[in-house]
Amino acid sequence: MQDHIENDRTSWQWAWFLPIPIAFAVMIPSLAFVGLALKAAFVMFMATVVGLTALQVAAYVVTARFVRVMGIDIPKRLWMHARHVWATHAGGGRVRAGIDAFAQRVIGEVDAVETRLVGERVEAGDVVAILRRGSRSIAARAPVAGTIARVNEALARDAGRVSRAPYGRGWLVELMPRASRDSVLASLMRGEPVKAWMEREVSRLVAVTTPSAVGAAMADGGEVSLDLSTLDDATWDRVQSEFFS
């Protein structure tokens, strides 16, 4: 009888330890599974981050609108006229036009804009708008021949749009071209030729300005940084004649 009691006691004491190996037996595979899951989640997270970063970089490269040449932003997708106006598609077969960043840099902060009247016929190179800053002004010329179909009426209230967004909200006029829109735009510059042309224009600008202006204009390692509207009258007239007449 005593032996039976001792045996029961011994069996009961060992029963306390049984959950421990069982717990380890269950926990170790569980921890391993959790570890693998965490590793998998981390790998997926990093792959997502890398993928999104690559997509952002690719999207920036594809959608970047401008190329900077000697401090001047030039648009990739717009057509350019040699008198520093741009052109692009507008609704109803029209061509929208405005000044480029080179012209904006020359005139500085625009005070007032005067445009031709809707319905007037113009030839390519005719004046379609006058941009004024104080007593000085530059002429914006038609990139294509046609009829003035629309003017940017917002400029009457806020001429500074031309300075802040020359390629966007600061557009000047829309023209209904005399020939097909695609054919007239094809006669203008676009893409790589614009870069080479702008480099020549900036170099020419430096050549016609005074020595003191040259130093200021090229102070940023070859970038134009001077508001050229501060030039003396004689030099201003030269710039006008060379680039906007």
pLDDT at position 52 is: 43
Lowest-confidence range among 43-52, 115-124, 183-192? 43-52
Q: Which two tokens stand for residue 115?
A: 């445009």
Distance set, CA 114 to CA 80, 128, 129, 208, 216 (Å): 21, 8, 5, 27, 30
Q: What is the architecture, at CATH level 2, of domain 78-243?
A: Beta Barrel (2.40)
Contact 203, 196 (CB under 8 A): no
pLDDT at position 179 is: 93
Count H helices, E strands: the chain?
A: 9, 11
pLDDT band at 157 (very low <50, low <70, confident <90, very high): very high
Residue 63 has pLDDT above 90, yes or no: no
Residues of the chain above pLDDT 70, percent: 65
pLDDT at position 36 is: 57
Nearest CA to 126 among 150, 148, 109? Answer: 148
pLDDT band at 26 (very low <50, low <70, confident <90, very high): low
Alpha carbon 62 to its chain's center = 11
| pLDDT tens digits along 196-240 | 999 999 989 888 886 645 444 454 455 655 556 568 899 999 999
